[in-house]
Chain A
C-alpha cells in the first residue's frame, strides 16, 4: 500500500495528453485524494513534447514530486526526456505502436502496451488515452468504475455510444495490463482516501472566482499565457451578474479601460503576464496619481521580453514594486496557494477602494496553471468594503466649487465620488493637482499631495501579510519564499526537521509595502536565511536586505531554468549550509 503516487503522461502536444490527465485527476479527486498537477508545454498548438505530471496523495500536496512512479509514454521522446525521474521500482507503460526502447540505465520496468491498437480495434485511435487510464488503474489496483461518472460528463453530449466506447477502452486497457502484471507482480495499491468533497482547480480559476466574490463586474484584458483563463472564466460568468469582459486591442487599452470603469464606480480587473504588465506601467502610474482603484493580476512567466512564455519564473517582483516612472503608493499581494489566490483577489478589490491605489495580485505560472485539490472555500470570509466612497447624497459645496476629491486628510485617503453624483464634480488628472483636481505646480501643494498619497499605505491592514510556520524561537534556518514555492519549501522543511535541523518557514504574501515588522523577528532569530525564488538575481532576497537588513545571513537560492523548484532542491541547498 502506498499513500502517494506520482504519475506522468507524455506525448506530442495536441494528442489529448491534457485530457488524459484531466479525466484521471477528476476521478481521483472525487474519491477524496489530494492532487497536484503540473503541465509541461510549449508555445505552439500542435506538436512538441508535452507532459502532465500528477501527484496523488491521501494528504495535502502543494508541489510536484522529486521522482516518478509511473510514466505513460505515447512516444520515445517522452521516455527519453523523463525516465530519469523514475525510481527503481517505477513503471513505464509505452504505446507498442512506436516500438519503445527501454533506456539502459534505468531499473524501472517497462511494458509495451498496445494503447493505439486496442483503441483502434474499439473504433478510434483517439481513445488510446482512455486505454492508458485503464492500464494505469490496473497498476494501481483501482476499480475502474470510478471513471464512469467523469466519462459520462465529458462525453455525454456526444451520445451514449461514445460514453460506452470510452468505458470499454478503459476496461480493455485495465484487462490487458492486469494480464501483463500477472498474479505475482506487486501492484502500487493506493491507500483509500477519505472520500471528502473538495475542489479541483487551477490558480487562475481561483483568481477569477475571487474576483466575482469580491464584487468585480467588469474586466478589460488581452489574451496572454498564463493569464487568459481568468478572462475566459469571467466572460462565461459575469453576464449572469450584468457584467462583461472586453477583449481589448492591447494591454494599454485593457489597463486604461479598467481605470475608466473603476473611476466610474465598477470594480474592474485586468490580468496579464510580464509583457502585458510592461505595457500597463504608464497606466498603473495614472491609477496611482489619480488615486483610482485598480486591481491588476500578473501571472509571472519566464522573461524578459517573450522569454520562456510557457515556463515558470518569478522575475517580475521588482518591476511590480517599482515599475512605473515616478513614485506612487502601490500594494502588491502574492498568494502562495490556490485558496489564498481566491481570498486575496477578493480582498484586493477592498484594498484598492480603501487605499485608492493600484493593487497588483502577483501569481506565477505554477500557481496559475497547476491544477490541484483545494479545500472548500469559505465565502463568509469574503467582505465588500468600499472605503471612503461617498454613499448617498453629496452635500452641496460653497458657490458650486469643485468637490475636494483630493482633500488632504490625516490618513491620506480622501472622500471619493463617482461620475453621475450631484455635487461631486471634480477634475481628475495625471498632472500634479490640488485638492479639487486642478493642475498645480506649486511646491507646497506638490509636497502636500505626495505626502498624502504615501500616507495612505503607511499602515496597510492586510489579514496575513506573511504565512508563517515558525515553531522555533532559535532556528538554524529560516526559509523564505513567495507564490508557488510554498509546497517545495514545506516538503523540504519536513525532511530537514527529520534530520534534526530547526527550520522556520515564511512565505511573503504582502510583498509591498514590505511587512518588515513581521519578517524582522524571524530573520533575527535564525542563524541563516535561505530565500528561495525562481529568478536569476534573487529579487526577494534583495528586497529583504533593503527592508530587514541582515545581509550577512541571507543566502540566495535561485532557479531560472523555467522549471518549478522540487523539494529536494530546497533540501539540498539548506543541507549545504550545515
Chain B
C-alpha cells in the first residue's frame, strides 16, 4: 500500500510562499494514502489558475485542462473507468464563475467523483481581480470602488442543487481537511469540498487570521446533524456560510453509475471494441 510520500513528485509548485494551496496538496496526498490508493489508480483533474496547477504536483495521473472545465473532464474520466478514484480541483473562479454551470450539473448528476475547490475569494494568477466569492464592497483591481455584486454561497447553492455530499474546510486544518477528503472519496456519489485557501499576495481581507476569527467548526455546534438538509441550510445561513466540517451527506441516493441503464460493471476502458458480426447484423436489420 502506498504511503503519502509516494503521492509526492519532484515538481516544485509555483505557488507563493504561504499559499493555502500547499496544505490542500498535502491533504490530498495523505487522504489518497489513507484510503489505500496506489498512485496509478488516482486521477486528479484540475482547472486553470494557481490552484489548477495542483494536478501537476501530485504523483498520480493528472490532467490540467481548460478554465472552468475540470468537472466535465473528470466526469468523462470516471465514466470511462469506474475503478479509478477521480478528484477534480480548481479555484473559486474556476468552479463558481466560468465553470458554475458544470458545478451545478455535476452536483445533480451525482457521478462518483470528489471536487475540491480552493477558495481564496480573489483571482490570483491574473493578479488580483474580483471573484464571485468576493464579498460585496471588496476592492480589487477590477472593482476599484468595491464589488457591488453579491457573493455566491456555494454550500447553500450545492444543497439546493441536490448535492449528496457537501463539506467545507480551512487549509490550515490539515487533519480535518484530510479526513473530509477521505470521506468524500469514500462517498458513493458527487462530493463537493470547499476549502478556504487564503491568497497571501492579493487578498488582504480574507487572511488566515480573518478565517480563524470568523470560522465555526460544525463539530462545536450543538445538535448539528449532517444528514439533516434543512438544518444544514439553516446553519449555513446563520453563520453566513462560514462553517467547516461535513455540512451534509445523503447516503441513500445512488450515484449516477449505479443508476445508468446497462452500464458496464467493469471499467468501460477495458471493453472489447470489436463488435461481433451477429450484433452488427441485428443493428443493420432495423434499417430494412
Contact = CB atoms under 8 A, between A and B. Distances in A.
Interface of A: 29-30, 197-201, 205, 209, 212-215, 217-218, 220, 237-244, 246, 248-250, 252-254, 256-268, 282-283, 286, 290, 374, 376-377, 379, 384, 402, 418-431, 437-439
Given A200-B287, A238-B262, A215 B274 contact: yes
Contacts of B283: 209, 212, 237
B62 A427 contact: yes
A256 B72 contact: yes
A30 B285 CA distance: 12
Interface stretch (B22-30, B37-45, B127-135): B37-45
A419 B287 contact: no
B9 A402 contact: yes
A149 to B, nearest CB: 11
Nearest to A386: B273
Contacts of B260: 239, 244
Q: Is the interface of A mostly helix, strand, loop or mixed?
A: mixed
28 contacts: A200-B287, A215-B273, A215-B274, A215-B275, A217-B268, A218-B80, A241-B262, A244-B262, A246-B109, A249-B102, A257-B79, A259-B76, A260-B75, A263-B73, A263-B80, A264-B77, A264-B84, A268-B76, A268-B80, A374-B287, A402-B9, A419-B84, A420-B40, A420-B41, A420-B81, A425-B60, A425-B61, A428-B64
Given A239-B260, A257-B72, 11 more contacts: A200-B287, A220-B76, A244-B260, A260-B76, A260-B79, A264-B80, A264-B84, A286-B66, A379-B277, A379-B281, A419-B40
A213 B273 CA distance: 8
Nearest to A402: B9
Interface of B: 9, 11, 38-41, 43, 45, 53, 55-56, 59-66, 69, 71-81, 83-84, 101-102, 104-105, 109, 260-264, 266-271, 273-275, 277, 279-281, 283-284, 287-288
A138 B260 CA distance: 50
Q: What 9 pairs between A and B have smallest CB-CB spacing?
A: A239-B262, A260-B76, A242-B264, A215-B273, A265-B269, A264-B80, A429-B64, A260-B73, A261-B76
A265 B60 contact: no
A439 B281 CA distance: 48
A259 B77 CA distance: 8
Contact of A266 (B73, B79, B104): B79
Contacts of A377: 284
Contact of A197 (B64, B264, B271, B288): B288
Nearest to B276: A379
A222 to B, nearest CB: 11
A61 B80 CA distance: 41
A256 to B, nearest CB: 4
Contacts of B55: 427, 429
A439 B74 CA distance: 20
Contacts of B281: 379
A422 B40 contact: yes
A438 B56 contact: yes
A377 B281 CA distance: 10
Given A242-B268, A244-B263, A264-B76, A384 B273 contact: yes
Contacts of A427: 55-56, 62, 64
A266 B45 contact: no
B76 A242 contact: no
A332 to B, nearest CB: 21
A244 B76 CA distance: 11
A250 B102 CA distance: 9
B30 to A, nearest CB: 18
A1 to B, nearest CB: 26
A20 to B, nearest CB: 20
B80 A260 contact: yes
Contacts of A238: 262
B102 A253 contact: yes
A439 B56 contact: yes
A256 B59 contact: no
A220 B262 contact: no
Contacts of B269: 264-266, 418, 420
Contacts of B65: 256, 259, 286, 430
B43 A264 contact: yes
A214 B275 CA distance: 8
Most A CB contacts (10 A, CB to CB) among B65, B72, B279 go to B72
Nearest to A198: B288
Contacts of B80: 218, 260-266, 268
B207 to A, nearest CB: 29
Contacts of A376: 284
Nearest to A243: B268
